[in-house]
Amino acid sequence: MAASEIISGAMRERAADYLTKRHRFRAAEALPWLIAIAVFFIFPTRMTFGSQVLVMVMFALSLDLILGYAGIVTLGHAAFFGIGAYTVGLAAARLDWTEPISGLFAAAIAAGLVGFVTGWFLLRYRGLTLLMLTLATAILLQETGNLRSDISGGYDGLPGLTFKPLLGIFDYDLYAHTYYLYVLAVLAVMFYLVRRIVYSPFGQALTGIRENVRRMHAIGSPVHRRLVTVYTIAAAIAGVAGALFTQTNAYVTLTVFDFDNSAKVMVMLILGGTGRLYGAFIGAAVYMVLEDYFSKLSPTFWQFGIGLVLVLAVLFAPRGILGLFERMGSYFAERKRS
């Protein structure tokens, strides 16, 4: 009796140790941020593109939270990106509300609200039904926007938006240097938030739901509430990404709600690796850079290439680029040991 208590005590300590260790920042985690800052100095003329990459990283990160950690497979994540984009766009175009940072908060609240309401209804379902419902939600929002094109501008969108200088001081320059740093700063805040969530007990519960819903139900975890909560948070972050998209591009059209947009962000995340936080970074960056390069050469060639990459990734690298690295790492570690 006593012996087993000692063992379980030691084991518990080891488990707790493991969990806190995971939470601690590692040196390697500085790498993507250092790269992002280095890019700022190396490619000063490509900052508009750079900001777009960072926006997509944030978008993919929000998807990672629900897809990678909670295991919710959705085909309509663009809905929240679009809500955020249009909150800022409409506020600027129709209400003359052009202060950028308060715009981000408004976008987060609006997208979070939509996430909460749709999540409350939809997250009871799974499989194909959930896929179709999330997809239909995004398209319904798009059609609503099209129906009231007097407000939304329809598929022509809201062009030529202008925003107030950041914090009232930093104005926007032609090469979007300010924007890049602004997006990077917001991304850092969002990343910190997501990281905290993922390594919290709440995040552990989400992983539990992904791995085995029945067992989570059995141990009395409020599964639906957890899922709705994380869905709302992810929606809010996607909304912020959408708001930044509108602010950096100074226009927005209804295509942000497209199925293509939902599919694209999923492809980015899968490419990088799900459930790893940094998968969003590497996936979005690799995808965007390749797209920028190859779609200039030939859009057809690019589309074929991305299709081929997807097929090969599913067959040979189901855990994404980061998963490949991990496998290589453990392979070399094995060889060293033997």
- Rounded Cα distance between 122 and 46, Å, is 40
- Rounded Cα distance between 89 and 70, Å, is 31
Q: How many residues sit in the footprint of another protein (CB under 8 A)?
A: 41
Using the minimum distance from each CB to another protein, give the nearer residue, 12 or 124.
Answer: 124
Using the minimum distance from each CB to another protein, give the nearer residue, 35 or 310.
Answer: 310
Residue among 308, 278, 263, 274 at smallest CA distance from 290:
308
For another protein, the binding residue among 255, 303, 327, 332 (CB under 8 A) is: 303
For another protein, the binding residue among 121, 192, 325, 331 (CB under 8 A) is: 121
List phi, psi (to 5°) of 166: -65, 130
Range 282-301, binding another protein (CB under 8 A): 300-301
Stretch that binds another protein, among 10-18, 141-149, 229-237, 330-338 (CB under 8 A): 141-149
Cα within 13 Å of Cα(256), Cβ side: 33
- Number of neighbours of residue 17 by Cβ within 10 angstroms: 10
Q: Does the protein bind another protein through residue 124 (CB under 8 A)? A: yes
- In this structure, which amino acid lies at residue 35? I
Using the minimum distance from each CB to another protein, give the nearer residue, 112 or 145.
Answer: 145
- Helix, strand, coil percentages, rounded to 5, for the chain: 80, 0, 20
* Both tokens assigned to 140: 């319904």
Q: Give the contact letters, 266-285, x = binds to another protein (CB under 8 A), - = no.
A: xx--x---------------
Q: Does the protein bind another protein through residue 315 (CB under 8 A)? A: yes
Using the minimum distance from each CB to another protein, give the nearer residue, 134 or 246.
Answer: 134
Residue spans of alpha helices (H) in 24-122? 31-42, 47-63, 78-94, 100-122
Nearest approach in angstroms of CB 266 to another protein is 8
* Both tokens assigned to 138: 């995004």
Nearest approach in angstroms of CB 270 to another protein is 6
Nearest approach in angstroms of CB 145 to another protein is 11
* Both tokens assigned to 82: 């679009």
Residues at the interface with another protein (CB under 8 A) = 67, 73, 75, 121, 124-125, 127-129, 131-133, 135-137, 139-140, 143-144, 146-147, 259-260, 263, 266-267, 270, 300-301, 303-304, 306-311, 313-315, 318
